[in-house]
Amino acid sequence: MANLNTPFGFKHFGYLEGFDPSYGMTARRIASGNGTAIFRGDAVTSLNTGYIAQSSPGTTQIAGIFQGCEYLSVALKTKVRSPYWPGSDANGDVTAFIIDNPYATFLVQASGAFFNLTSVGNNVQIVVGTGNTTTGYSGMTLDCANAPGGANTATFPFRIIRLASAVLPAGSNGSDNTTNFNQLIVTFNNQDYRSLTGI
C-alpha cells in the first residue's frame, strides 16, 4: 500500500538498546516575544540567550524534541497547558517541555521520495513543514534531498537507525519502503548532550 503524507514530527519511540532510559522531560524556556509557533514533535534549538526556538532547515546542533508548554495566557488570564506554542498570548516566559535524553529514539516520516536500507547509519537533515493547530502536532519530516541513501554529513542533527517497517504492522501507513513518505526510526546525531562524528 502506498504511504500517505501525514507528517507528525518526531514521535518518541524509545531508547537505544543498552542505555538506561530517563522518562522525564526537561523544562526549558521560550521567550514570550518569540512569534514562531512550535509544535509537539518539533526539533528545537538552544539559543545563546538560554531560550529555545524551533529548529530550522540547515540546523546542526539541536536541544531536543518539543512536547508541549504552559504559560500565563493574556486572553484567558489564567495558566494554560498546550501541546504547541502558538507564537503569542503569553504574559512572561513560556515553560516548554522537551525530550533531550541523548539516547532517545523517534519515529518520523520522510518528506518525500523514500529512504531504504542503504539509509541506515546515515545522517539526515530536517524539513519544517506546517504544524497542525487543531491537534498541536508538528509538520516536521526528514529531508529526502539525499534519499534513498541519506548523507554522511557529520553535522546533520539526526541519524537513521532503522526503517520503521521493522516495527509497524505490515501494510500500515509508513511501512512501504518503495513509495514516498515512508517512516523511519532515528536518534540524535548532533545534540546538546551528544555529538557524533561522521558515520
Tell me: do 83 and 133 sit in the same domain: no
Q: What is the mean pLDDT of residues 24-32?
A: 95
The pLDDT value recorded for residue 36 is: 97
- Measured CA to CA, the distance from residue 125 to residue 147 in angstroms comes to 11
Please check whether residue 198 lies inside any domain of the structure.
no
Query: What is the domain range of residue 43?
Result: 26-99
Cite the beta strand spans of the chain per DSSP E: 11-15, 26-30, 43-46, 52-54, 64-72, 79-82, 94-99, 104-109, 123-124, 126-127, 141-142, 158-163, 183-188, 190-191, 194-195
Tell me: do 176 and 189 sit in the same domain: yes
Strand partners, 194: 191
For residue 142, which of 176, 178, 172, 183 has the smallest C-alpha distance? 183
The count of domains in the chain is: 2
The pLDDT value recorded for residue 197 is: 55
The pLDDT value recorded for residue 127 is: 95
Rank 26-30, 112-116, 191-195 by mean pLDDT and report only the highest: 26-30
pLDDT for 150 beyond 70: no
The pLDDT value recorded for residue 130 is: 96
* pLDDT one-digit tens code per residue, 37-94: 999 999 999 999 999 999 998 878 999 999 999 999 999 999 999 999 999 999 999 9
Tell me: do 95 and 107 sit in the same domain: no
Q: What is the mean pLDDT of residues 151-158?
A: 86
- Measured CA to CA, the distance from residue 161 to residue 179 in angstroms comes to 19
Among 63, 78, 99, give the residue marking a domain's end.
99
Q: What is the mean pLDDT of residues 2-23?
A: 88
Phi, psi of 116 (to 5 degrees): -130, -165
Higher pLDDT, 84 or 197: 84
Please check whether residue 5 lies inside any domain of the structure.
no
pLDDT for 195 beyond 50: yes
